[in-house]
């Protein structure tokens, strides 16, 4: 585990943290990444700019489970504004413990990758 985060309560720019995490996931240095900002949305948008990253914001265990099982999400983004620490830890455990189911979902994830590389789905 590597912590790329800020160690300060000072305002910072979420892309500065999303990019190195997303890059390391895309390069295979890590299987998955977890990013936290106020809503989780900005982190997801920034991380998804990196080739090979499928970042998803989630607030419920069902969302986290589905994004892993169906979308093979490799980055989870969480909104600190909406989650307390214990709930965030539950979601993180679900994210790390849930596997991609493949099957018809693999075909869909492959289509996402085609779009990412400038092709058509």
pLDDT tens digits for range 65-110: 999 999 999 999 999 999 999 999 999 999 999 999 999 999 999 9
3-class secondary structure per residue, the chain: CCCCCCCCCCCCCCHHHHHHHHHHHHCCCCCCEEEEECCCHHHHHHHCCCCCCCEEECCCHHHHHHHHHCCCCCEEEEECCCCCHHHHHHHHHHHHHCCCCCCHHHHHHHHHHHHHCCCCC
| Catalytically active residues, by annotation | 37, 70
Per-domain boundaries in the chain? 15-116
79 near 97, Cβ under 8 Å? no
* Reported CATH class of domain 15-116: alpha beta
Give the predicted TM-score (pTM) of the model. 0.93
What's the pLDDT tens digit per position in 32-71?
Answer: 999 999 999 999 999 999 999 999 999 999 999 999 999 9
Question: Do residues 64 and 32 touch, judged by C-beta distance below 8 A?
Answer: no
């Amino acid at each position: 585990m590597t912590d790329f985060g800020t160690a300060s309560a000072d305002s910072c720019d979420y892309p500065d943290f999303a990019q190195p995490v997303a890059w390391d996931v895309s390069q295979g240095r890590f299987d998955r990444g977890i990013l936290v900002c106020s809503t989780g949305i900005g982190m997801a948008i920034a991380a998804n700019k990196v080739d090979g990253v499928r970042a998803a914001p989630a607030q419920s265990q069902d969302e986290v489970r589905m994004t892993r099982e169906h979308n093979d999400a490799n980055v989870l983004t969480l909104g600190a504004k909406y989650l307390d620490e214990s709930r965030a830890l539950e979601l993180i455990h679900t994210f790390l413990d849930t596997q991609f189911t493949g099957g018809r979902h693999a075909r869909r994830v492959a289509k996402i990758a085609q779009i990412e590389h400038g092709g058509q789905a």
